[in-house]
């Protein structure tokens, strides 16, 4: 199955979610290698990026001309959102995604650059102006990611989705929780069906999708055209390809084991160090190494690897740990 965003084909419609501090360029490259219809950057603060804040620019470092990458912008000022979108188009971006789903307090609070993310669902008129500004600024597909609403008393995702489609948005992703739920409870995939009924553009289901079984349930309950997952890919960058194989007849990924898995982890580790530099890279890499160990059932081996501060030692420990695990399995 293929979804079209302008001339860009999303095949299959299995998408890596934007996750702050996680879906950086190294991780997206590893996921994309196994197979994904689309990978989305970390949320980029539009005004910070245009004011040349280094962290914001790093989050927008995309391998930007890659066809299966989308840049997610956040903000509440139509001017800065439009300027950031223009800048990214000039840098080679292929798709712009607008964040109206992040529930984090630092994003939704009124301090700093103002309430952004899912807080915009409380201000649908402003949300529409932001969408219109971005869509008018670029000749690229523009997509939108939201939640069901701010809380259970304001489930206005269908109304915002319909406005967004009218303003030119070409795909809408819905996380099946309200902002006030954060990540508590379970995602309400069935509630996404109201959004699907309100628009004619593709709708993507998100929230609690961690494998092929939950992806199939989300599609069945929501009627959505595809799925987006984030946490399910942590420590398992092949997970999207597994889902694509099970549900959309894509080729089955070769999931690495033993020494092959160690090679993949070492490559990812070295990409992180190269991207961030040694000192920051060591800190960023720890969470990914921990997830790989957890996924492999090697949680007991976390401490030596995650506390080592010499990259060469970390690499030796990774290879020794997975070689030993392969011997035990044999």
Give the number of other CB atoms < 10 A from CB of residue 114: 15
* Over residues 163-186, mean pLDDT: 95
- Runs of H (alpha helix) within 175-277: 192-198, 212-222, 239-248, 258-276
Is residue 233 within 8 Å of 15, Cβ to Cβ? no
For residue 171, give the nearest of 208, 137, 206 by alpha carbon: 206
Give the pLDDT confidence score for residue 132 in this predicted structure: 98
Topology of domain 3-248, per CATH?
Answer: TIM Barrel (3.20.20)
Mean pLDDT score of the chain = 91
Q: How far is CA 270 from CA 78, 88, 196, 266, 282, in A?
A: 38, 27, 42, 6, 10
Amino acid 330: pLDDT? 47
pLDDT for 47 equals: 79
Six-digit token pair at 141?
A: 């597909």
Give 78's pLDDT tier (boundaries 50, 70, 90): very high
pTM of the model: 0.93
Q: What is the pLDDT of residues 88-132, one digit of tens each?
A: 888 888 899 999 998 888 888 865 556 889 999 999 999 999 999
What mean pLDDT do residues 159-176 have? 98
pLDDT of residue 105: 84
User: What is residue 72's DSSP assignment?
Assistant: E
CA dist 97 and 72 (Å) reads 4
Q: Is 116 in contact with 145 (CB distance < 8 Å)? A: no
Pairwise pLDDT comparison (69 vs 295), residue with the higher score: 295
In angstroms, the CA 263 to CA 123 distance is 48
Q: Is the Cβ–Cβ distance between 23 and 39 less than 8 Å?
A: yes
Enzyme catalytic residues:
102
- Chain centroid, CA 100 distance in Å: 13
Q: Please give the average per-residue pLDDT across 44-69, as a whole number.
A: 65
Q: How many CB atoms lie within 10 A of CB 259?
A: 12
Measure Cα distances from 212 to 34, 227, 228, 323 in Å.
15, 10, 12, 29
Which H helix or E strand runs over 99? strand 96-100
Q: Among 109-118, 154-163, 200-209, 246-255, where is mean pLDDT lowest?
A: 109-118
DSSP class per residue in 139-163: SS-EEEEEES-SSTT---HHHHHHH
| pLDDT beyond 70 at 137 | yes
Which of these, 324, 285, 327, 275, lies nearest to 305 by C-alpha position?
285
User: What number of residues does the chain have?
Assistant: 330
Residue range 234-277, pLDDT digits in tens: 999 999 999 999 999 999 999 999 999 999 999 999 999 999 99
């Amino acid at each position: 199955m293929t979804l079209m965003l302008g001339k860009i084909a999303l095949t299959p419609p299995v998408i890596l979610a934007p996750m702050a501090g996680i879906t950086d360029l190294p991780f997206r490259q590893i996921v994309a290698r196994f197979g994904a219809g689309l990978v989305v950057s970390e949320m980029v603060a539009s005004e910070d990026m245009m004011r040349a804040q280094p962290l914001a620019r790093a989050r927008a470092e995309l391998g930007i001309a890659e066809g299966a990458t989308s840049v997610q912008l956040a903000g509440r000022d139509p001017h800065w959102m439009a300027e950031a979108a223009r800048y990214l188009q000039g840098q080679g971006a292929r798709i712009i995604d607008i964040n109206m789903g992040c529930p984090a307090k630092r994003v939704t609070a009124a301090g700093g650059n103002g309430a952004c993310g899912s807080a915009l669902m409380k201000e649908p008129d402003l949300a529409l102006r932001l969408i219109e500004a971005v869509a008018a600024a670029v000749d690229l597909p523009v997509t939108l990611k939201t939640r069901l609403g701010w809380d259970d008393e304001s489930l206005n995702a269908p109304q915002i989705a319909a406005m967004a489609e009218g303003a030119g948005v070409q795909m809408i992703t819905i996380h099946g929780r309200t902002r006030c739920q954060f990540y508590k409870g379970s995602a309400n995939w069935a509630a996404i069906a109201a959004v699907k009924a309100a628009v004619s553009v593709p709708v993507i289901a998100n929230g609690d999708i961690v494998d092929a079984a939950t992806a199939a349930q989300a599609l069945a309950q929501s009627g959505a055209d595809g799925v987006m997952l984030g946490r399910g890919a942590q420590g398992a960058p092949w997970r999207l390809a597994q889902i694509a194989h099970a549900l959309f007849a894509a080729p089955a990924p070769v999931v690495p084991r033993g020494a092959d898995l160690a090679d993949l982890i070492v490559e990812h580790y070295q990409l992180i160090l190269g991207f961030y530099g040694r000192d920051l890279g060591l800190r960023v890499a720890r969470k990914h190494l921990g997830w790989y160990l957890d996924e492999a059932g090697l949680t007991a081996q976390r401490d030596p690897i995650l506390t080592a501060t010499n990259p060469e030692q970390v690499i030796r420990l990774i290879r020794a740990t997975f070689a030993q695990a392969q011997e035990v399995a044999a």
